[in-house]
Homo-oligomer: A and B are copies of this chain.
Amino acid sequence: MSTRTASLPSGGTAPTLARKILRDDVYDALLEMLMTQRLAPGQSLSIDGLARELGVSQTPIREALVQLEHTGLVIRAALKGYTVTAPLTAAQMAELIDAREVIELAAVERAVGRSGLSERLESAHAEHQAVIARYGLDRQPSADAVQGQLLEYFRADWAFHETIIRGCGNRFIDQMASILGANVHRMRQSMDRGLTDSADALREHAEILAAFQVGNRARAVGAMARHLQGVSQRAQAEAPPGH
């Protein structure tokens, strides 16, 4: 999700210090603003305006926008600037689920049994669980903070999936899947019934995790397939086929 340094062959934590330059901070800031809908779909993004708002020059803004463009969150029209991409249509959501099945099932198939992955997956799942538990009993917060919570749900949820993807041992599959993350969240915020979905997802994740822990590849693939089917059904339940 966030900017990564060039992924190392041996997938441990990067030994290089996280040298960050301003462009990466701008990228993260813009990503956050897009994820929380502070920059709403359809809105046009003035380079000069963003530069003033974030207190930086135009150069890092330009580079961050180029980088954002290939996530699909913004689109560029020559000589007209950048605009925030419109929400996903129902057809696009179906395509996204389909693409996730292609990539994530392949990732699961390659990831089961790789050393250390089961443990990382377990900790990602625990973190996911903790995030949901933390806000589970909250009364309705400010409408502004809802987007922030939704983003936190999403990050913990996607971290589980990303753990599998990045642990599959194929850097090209990993690289390709990095395109999906932002779109998955876009889809999620189109139908914000945050907590109920999270509970369902958590249950389905648990089954995936269990299959990984016993090293049962076929069962893991099946559990992931059922999970993505669940995501698809919950999406359809929200958006009637007419729209």
Residues of A at the B interface (CB closer than 8 Å) are: 5-6, 19-21, 24, 59, 62-63, 66-67, 69-70, 72, 75-79, 92, 95-96, 98-99, 102-103, 106, 110, 169-173, 175-177, 179-180, 183
Contact = CB atoms under 8 A, between A and B. Distances in A.
B175 A72 contact: yes
A110 B103 CA distance: 14
B63 A99 contact: no
Contact of A176 (B24, B63, B179): B179
Interface centre among A62, A72, A102, A110 (most CB of B within 10 A): A102
A98 B109 CA distance: 12
A49 B106 CA distance: 42
Nearest to A6: B75
Given A6-B75, A79-B19, A172-B183, A102 B103 contact: yes
